[in-house]
Amino acid sequence: MLNTEFIYQKIALIRQDLEFLDKMANLSFEEVAKDFYKYNTVQMLLMKIIGRAIDINEHLIDELANAETKSPGTYRETFLQLADLKILPADFASEIAKSAGFRNAIVHEYDKLDDFIIYKTIGEAVVQYTKYCHYVLDLISRKS
């Protein structure tokens, strides 16, 4: 059974972080990249947003997949499985799934992250995760 309280709580936190991230999207590249606090705030917000979505994905898969469904082996695959479960459109799932790798790069500090890629991701994340929240809430309304 879907734990809608859990999902609503995660969505509320994602939306709250998206509001802060959206404010950062209005800043120039130099304002973000050259300011230690802003730059690290962007990274933390992205990690939290993506991590919360992965939590939701795993819950939805646990509750809605059938016994034959293979468990996702990676965080990226959790987004792709939401397409298999008809929660996300396949093209959107493929696109947003890339953010899981981006999250891992931030968390594990793979190489030196490109400052411009971090900056460019701000706007993309706001758009993608706003849509993601809409798709998940739409699923809940259909299941209620």
- Write out pLDDT tens, residues 124-135: 999 999 999 999
Res. 111 pLDDT band, cuts 50 70 90: low
Residue 104: what pLDDT?
66
Residue 107: what pLDDT?
66
What's the sign of the alpha-carbon dihedral 29, 33, 37, 41?
Answer: positive
- Please give the Cα distance from 85 to 25 (Å, whole number): 32
**16 is written with which tokens?**
């709250």
Phi-psi region of 85 (alpha: psi -120 to 50; beta: other; left: phi over 0): alpha
Q: Is 91 helix (H, G, I), strand (E, B) or coil?
A: helix
Percent of the chain with pLDDT over 70: 92
pLDDT tens per residue across span 9-34: 999 999 999 999 999 999 999 999 99
Percent of the chain with pLDDT over 90: 69
User: Which one-letter DSSP state was computed for residue 34?
Assistant: T
**132 is written with which tokens?**
């993601």
**51 is written with which tokens?**
């991590």
Phi-psi region of 86 (alpha: psi -120 to 50; beta: other; left: phi over 0): left
**107 is written with which tokens?**
């968390």
One-letter identity of residue 54: I
pLDDT tens per residue across span 75-96: 999 999 999 999 999 999 999 9
* Residues 100 and 76 sit within 8 Å (Cβ to Cβ): yes
Residue-range domains of the chain with CATH: 4-143 (1.20.120.580)
User: Which one-letter DSSP state was computed for residue 1?
Assistant: -
Residue 101: what pLDDT?
77
Question: What is the average pLDDT value for the chain, to the nearest integer?
Answer: 91
